[in-house]
Amino acid sequence: MVVEMSKGMVTPQTQNPIAQLQTKFKELEDGFRAWLAKQSLPVEAAVVTATSATQGAAIGAFMGTLTNDVSSSFPTPPPQGASLTPQAMASFKQAQALAGGPLIQARNFAVMTGVNAGISCVMKRLRGKEDVQSSMVAAFGSGAMFSLVSGMGGPNQAANVISSGLFFALVQGGLFKLGQKFSQPPTEDVFYAKTRCMLTNLGLQNYEKNFKRGLLTDSTLPLLTDSALRDVKIPPGPRLLILDHIERDPELKERARRP
């Protein structure tokens, strides 16, 4: 009987090995980031650039396998001595950059991701924050280097570098602002931060809409009464829990005593 029970028992490790692996990976990642933050700026920038470039190269190589068949359909450029207009040569280079094989795409993606991550790392360390300006500077450098190694654009290389950098910077800036817009909570939620925390701790988060409906913001918490909670249609049980929590909270009690 004991043997059968022991066979039927499943430990947490065998029960969910994927979760255990994720935990281990997260610990390693956090440890690596903590170690990296203690290093000098050149070391941190070099490591971040190298790791990001490696990841980019892997992605580029995979993308290159998908575009390899397409690139094979492009005509082969004439020999070096043959007459070829600058516009035609630029078109060949653009085609190779956009639809090259695994090696070409691995190089392009490695340059883009590595330069972007390296500049972002330097900007964040120097400025102490990560904002749209830092993001656009990193994207400009990434676009400029991509233009140099891939040969994108027309015959004027200097103009290509600047225009590619500006294009990358504008796109990155737009994406950064768009991400900020969708990631930020609605403005009204700022006034219910403490209320939401209180309700969550009490297991009453479903009544947050009642507070918003009655405009019972964080500033009104010390003033709450049973009558006010009743007016926003909160049942007796939750009302008692909320009032008891407010009564026991030293900060709210202190604010309630102020004239």
Report the C-alpha gap between 137 and 153 in whole angstroms: 20
Indicate whether 166 belongs to any domain: yes
User: In the predicted model, is pLDDT for residue 10 greater than 60?
Assistant: no
Does 3 have pLDDT greater than 70? no
Domain co-membership, 196 together with 179: no
- Provide the residue range defining the domain that includes 54: 29-70+91-183
Q: Is the pLDDT of residue 66 over 80?
A: no
Q: Give the per-residue pLDDT at 125.
A: 85
Residues 107 and 132 in one domain: yes
The pLDDT assigned to 4 comes to: 47
pLDDT at 211 over 90: yes
What confidence tier does 13 reach under pLDDT thresholds 50, 70, 90? Answer: very low
User: According to the model, what pLDDT value does residue 114 have?
Assistant: 93
Structural domain includes residue 81: no
Does 6 reside within a domain?
A: no
Q: What is the mean pLDDT of residues 186-201?
A: 81
pLDDT at 27: 84
Question: What's 244's domain CATH number?
Answer: 1.10.150
pLDDT band at 231 (very low <50, low <70, confident <90, very high): very high
* Residue 108: CB atoms within 10 Å: 24
Average of per-residue pLDDT across 25-36: 84
pLDDT reading at 55 higher than 90: yes
**Do 42 and 151 lie in a common domain?**
yes
Question: Mind listing the pLDDT tens digit for each residue in 116-144?
Answer: 999 999 998 888 888 889 999 999 999 99
Domain total in the chain? 2
Model pLDDT for residues 71-101, shown as the tens digit of each residue: 555 555 555 544 555 555 555 555 555 566 7
Query: 204 and 179, same structural domain?
Result: no
Domain closes at, from 183, 211, 226: 183
Same domain, residue pair 49 and 118? yes
- What pLDDT does 171 receive? 92
The residue among 49 and 178 whose pLDDT is bigger is 49
Predicted local distance difference test score (pLDDT) of residue 101: 76
Q: Looking at residues 94-117, what average pLDDT do you find?
A: 80
Q: Tally the C-alpha atoms within 13 A of residue 226's C-alpha that lie toward its C-beta.
A: 5
Percent of the chain residues past pLDDT 70, beyond the cut: 75
CA distance 109 to 120: 16
Residue 11: pLDDT band by 50, 70, 90 thresholds?
very low
